[in-house]
Amino acid sequence: MSTATDSSTTKTGGAPEVGSVFVSNYPPYSFWQREQVPQALAALDAPPLPGAPLGLYVHIPFCRVRCKFCYYKVYTDKDSAEVRQYLRGVEAEARLAAAKPAIAGRPLRFVYIGGGTPSFISSSDLRALAAALQAELPWTGAEEVTFECEPGTLTRSKLETVRGIGVTRLSLGVESYDDAVLKRNGRAHLSAEIDRALPWIREQGFAQVNIDLIAGMVGETRETWRTSVARTLAAEPDSVTIYQLELPYNTLFTRDLLGGADDVPLATWEQKREWHGYAFEQLAAAGYEPSSAYTMVRRGREARFVYRDSVWHGCDMVGLGVASFSHMSGVHYQNLPEWGPYLESLTRGALPLDRAYTTSAGQRLTREWILQLKMGRVETGYFQKKFGTDVLARFAEPLGRLQTRGMLRVGDGVVELTTAGLLQADGLLPEFYAPEHQGARYT
């Protein structure tokens, strides 16, 4: 679960700039500090704030190969023994976290098992991990349990295991149906593996199946994109999530570009927005409706995204695993981002925290405002009730600028993104940042 500056502030046209990031938090991660880790520990050692639901994120950082556009913490060189060593570390972290007063005994609203590639690990390892985590942080009552998977790692028996541990929402990382595009971007799977997995997925009767696509992968053309959209529609998923390719600093493509490579054919932002918009039009014609700037859901089916909606409304979340992010009682924190230090901390019986940030009430309001704006429609009364703030007055200047640009409409108690605004939502959000965060490096 996203400029050389902050978050997509220069997404106006031309070729993609290096350094773009998907806006997932506020204040920007570059402001989080190791010196504030004690505040995170203090939040964990105090009772939770009333009214906030709790969610769980579990990071499985293993992949068959590293995609050339990937900017997540992943490993492609770990053997089965090292995988199990890591999973035992995650289980140890769960025990430590579950004992903290801010977490102990609280029910989970959602679980999100992400990566990396959660479906990379074996069925036996997955069952053992789920049993150990459920012993500390049971999710039998959760509204949603999401599991990310890569088509080429799926078998019928593994999907039976995934369903058996309580997964309700399966998210399939298709990205493209064109084999040449998949190969050029370093994806591990090919289209035949997508087709092979889909009947097995249907057999398991997951409450929701989501397909991810990426508009503007290297080598993509209008024709290959339209084929991917058509084949996605033929698969009849409950929801489709579409991202536009971005290139933060730590991707393989970025390394090549900064090194002077001239053989990385990149789509422009105008092309990506056009393709994204085409996909939304085709999905709407097939009976889907927008759920956010990225996701279309099939009308008449239960296709909520509890993880997204909870995080964007300020829930508490405990993140397990290397480099994982958490939010607790108004404090953001991140785990140690490297394999050795992460596991060594757990061996010592210490939570593996690396950096943190204690937010003000105003920053929490801004965070919820910008994240909820990505849903395309925000009701201002929510912020009046929760924060006691008239957001139309607080954000009058940026709202006026964006309205003049045709990016949004301000109505009676509602702010709605236009179609143009929806297709470049992340590029609009820094307009609402405080002056000290404007132009800052996001990560």
CATH assignment at residue 46: 3.20.20.70
Are residues 281 and 392 both part of a single domain? no
Do 256 and 373 belong to one domain? no
Map tokens 């470049």 to a residue: 424
β-strand 295-298 against 288-290: which pairing, if any?
Answer: antiparallel
302 band by pLDDT with thresholds 50, 70 and 90: confident
Q: Are residues 227 and 153 in the same domain?
A: yes
Mean pLDDT of the chain: 93
Q: Are residues 369 and 305 in the same domain?
A: no
pLDDT number for residue 296 = 97
In a domain, 126, yes or no: yes
Examine the domain organization and report whether 373 and 297 are in the same domain. Answer: no
156 compared with 1, residue with greater pLDDT: 156
State whether 388 and 280 are in the same domain: no
How does pLDDT run across 97-109, given as a tens digit for each residue? 999 999 999 999 9
* Domain extent at residue 382: 360-443
Q: Is the pLDDT confidence value at 442 over 80?
A: no
Q: Is residue 401 part of a domain?
A: yes
Whether residue 345 is contained in a domain is answered as: no
- pTM (2 decimals)? 0.94
* DSSP string for 360-399: PHHHHHHHHHHHHHTTSEEEHHHHHHHH---HHHHTHHHH
- Give pLDDT tens digits for 14-35: 445 666 668 999 999 999 999 9
Does one domain contain both 283 and 419? no
Give the chain's domain count.
2
Let me know if residue 343 belongs to a domain: no
Please check whether residue 21 lies inside any domain of the structure: no
Q: Confidence band (pLDDT; 50, 70, 90) for 3?
A: very low
289 plus 416 within the same structural domain: no
Q: Is there a single domain that holds both residue 132 and residue 273?
A: yes
Give the CATH number, domain containing residue 411. 1.10.10.920
142 and 276 belong to one structural domain: yes
Q: Does residue 121 share a domain with residue 182?
A: yes
CA dihedral 364, 372, 420, 253 (to 10 degrees): 70
pLDDT of residue 9: 34
In 3D space, the residue among 144, 429, 174 whose CA is nearest the CA of residue 303 turns out to be 144
Phi, psi (5° rounding) for residue 55?
-125, 165
Q: Give the pLDDT of residue 2.
A: 29
pLDDT of residue 20: 62
Whether 316 maps to a domain, the answer reads no
Instruction: Give 298's strand partners.
Output: 288
Which pLDDT does position 16 carry in this prediction?
52
Domain stop point among 310, 328, 350: 310
151 & 71 share domain: yes
pLDDT of residue 21: 67
315 inside domain: no
| Element spanning 334, H or E | strand 331-335
> Residue 248 falls within a domain, yes or no?
yes
* Boundary of a domain, candidates 244, 279, 310: 310
